[in-house]
Structure 1
Amino acid sequence: MDKRGLTRSRKAAGVAARVAVALVFAINVQCAVSFVLRPEAYAGGFELAGVPGAAAVRGLGVAFLMWNATYPAVIANPRRFRSLYAVVLAQQCVGLIGEAWIHCSLPAGHAALSASIERFIAFDAAGLALMAAAFVWMLLVDRRCARSTDGGRP
């Protein structure tokens, strides 16, 4: 690939990384804000009710916001904050593994809770796949660009 093509590929990979992380961030924040502002609408899905249920769901919303504090820097510049991007992917893995473990540990008879956790698993798996694919593409293109500028040395 010529230098111009590599430059275009590098730019496209960076944009893809930004879009992937921004999409997951936007959905996460929307969910978090919904949990914080309207916890009663979601408490039943966790088999919770009343003031304790609202507090628990609000707490989950706050935790989501904390979790997403790392995303804006990555969205702004995924190359500059490549290590932070890796942290975002690690966080996504931890969430996905934890949700799967919780889901597997549920006894029978908790259909609403199980369905809620399944939605988190599906979203987090899709988000991880999207962000990881963009991250790998960016790394591969950057490596290829580096090789083209240093005479092809590995």
Structure 2
Amino acid sequence: MDKQKAQIWIARVLVTAVFAINVQCAIQFIAWPESYTYAYQLSGASAEAVVRGYGICFLMWNATYPPVIAAPHRYRVLFIVVIAQQLIGLVGESLLLASLGQAAGLGTLAASITRFIIFDGAGAVLLVIAFALTMRAARSLKEPAE
């Protein structure tokens, strides 16, 4: 395998890792919302609906990943959209956490949001690395982008 193809495969693995964790989280939120309501300091049937809704949103968010995984060097614009989605999540969660301030009784919620910030930050780093590898390989392959 030549260097360019190896770079594209590494990019696929990195994007797939972020995608797999996102989808795993989505499925868990949809299938077992009661396991996660406490983390958001919610309770009851409405809390389960909220957590399921988060799961559905996560699935919608990840609809952009499969083409990027299949051909990251061809779907560069979509790849940028995937990175933008990740960064929107990271910034939004950070602002959400900041909006809690020092409010009493929200420690569990703050910890849950912090976990998402850590994941989305790590995911953003992996996606940017994958994009850089893809761009380097695409220049060498001189394949058209879609």
TM-score by length of 1: 0.87
The 4+ residue runs of structure 1 with deviation greater than 3 A are: none
Which one of the candidate residues 8, 30, 35 is aligned to 1:36?
30
CA-based RMSD: 1.3
User: What is the match of residue 123 of structure 2?
Assistant: 127
User: How many pairs were matched up?
Assistant: 140
Q: Deviations over 1:47-82 (max 9, x none)?
A: 110011000000000000000000011111111211
Letter in 2 for 1:11: K
Q: Which has the greater radius of gyration?
A: 1
Q: Does 1:23 align with 2:17?
A: yes
- Give 1:141 shift: 3.4
User: What is the match of residue 116 of structure 1?
Assistant: 112
Q: Does 1:52 align with 2:68?
A: no
Letter in 1 for 2:71: N
- Give 1:93 shift: 0.6
Contact 2:90 2:120 in 1 (8 A): yes
Letter in 2 for 1:106: L
Q: Return the alpha-carbon distance in structure 2 between the equivalents of residues 33 and 17 of structure 1.
A: 24
Which one of the candidate residues 128, 136, 140 is aligned to 2:136?
140
- Give 1:10 shift: 0.8
The answer to which structure, 1 or 2, has the higher relative contact order (CA under 8 A, 6+ apart) is 2
1:46-85 equivalences in 2 (<5 Å): 46-85=40-79
Which one of the candidate residues 10, 30, 36 is aligned to 2:4?
10
User: What is the match of residue 152 of structure 1?
Assistant: none
Long gaps (5+) in structure 2: none
